[in-house]
Amino acid sequence: MKVYVIVLLIAIILSSCLKQSIPDAMLGVKNSGGQGKVTATLSYKINGNAVNISVDDADNQNGFYTLACSLNSGYYILSGVSNSGETTFSFYTDSLAVGNYKFLGTYGDMFFTDYNNTAEYVHAPSDSMSFNITSNNNRHISGNFSGVLTPLLDPNNNIYGDPSSVLITNGSFKNVPVFY
C-alpha cells in the first residue's frame, strides 16, 4: 500500500512541474508560454482598402498556414492569406530580432502582396517596404509596417504599372507564430 501512495505522490509532484496541465496534454491543447490559445492578426490598408487576417488558434494551424512566420533556408517569411489575396514579406536575417527590416527598390524586385488578383512588388527605385518587429516573445512576433509598391500588370511579359502607385499604410501584426 505504501508503494501506491509513493507512486501517486511522485506523479502529483512531477505533474505540477509540467508547463502544461495533464488534461490539456491529453486533449492535445498547446500552451504558448502560458498564453493558452493565441489569436494572431495582420492588418493594413492598400490604397485605402482594408485587409484583415485573423487566426483564432494560431499555434495549431495544421499543414497550411493562414498567418505565420517561418524559417526558410536562412531567412524568415511572414505570410498571410485572406479572401482578397496573399501577403508576404521576407526578413533576410538568421536571427529574427526586434528591430527594423527594410527592403528598397534598388535591391531588386520583391513580391509583397496579391490584392484582388494584382501582384504588388517593391520594383521601382522609389519603392520600399519597412517592417518593425516591436516584440518577439515565446515564438510570436508583433509590430508594424508600411510601404510603397508598384503593381505587376502582366506577369507573362513583365509589364509593371505606375511606379510607386500602391500605398501600404496602417500595417500591423500581432502574435504571429514563428515556426522553425
**pLDDT tens readout for residues 107-128:** 999 999 999 999 999 999 999 9
Domain span at residue 58 reads 32-179
Bridge-partner residues for 130, per DSSP? 102, 146
Checking 55-64 for CB contacts under 8 A at 24+ apart, the result is 58/140, 58/175, 58/176, 58/177, 59/30, 59/32, 59/177, 60/30, 61/177
- Residues 26, 36 share a domain: no
Is residue 3 located within the same domain as residue 60?
no
C-beta separation of 91 from 76 below 8 A: yes
pLDDT in tens, 129-167: 999 999 999 999 999 999 999 999 999 999 999 999 999
Helix count (H) and strand count (E) of the chain?
A: 2, 12
pLDDT digits (tens, 9 = 90+) for 58-109: 999 977 899 999 999 889 999 999 999 999 999 999 889 999 999 999 999 9
Residues 24 and 51 placed together within one structural domain of the fold:
no
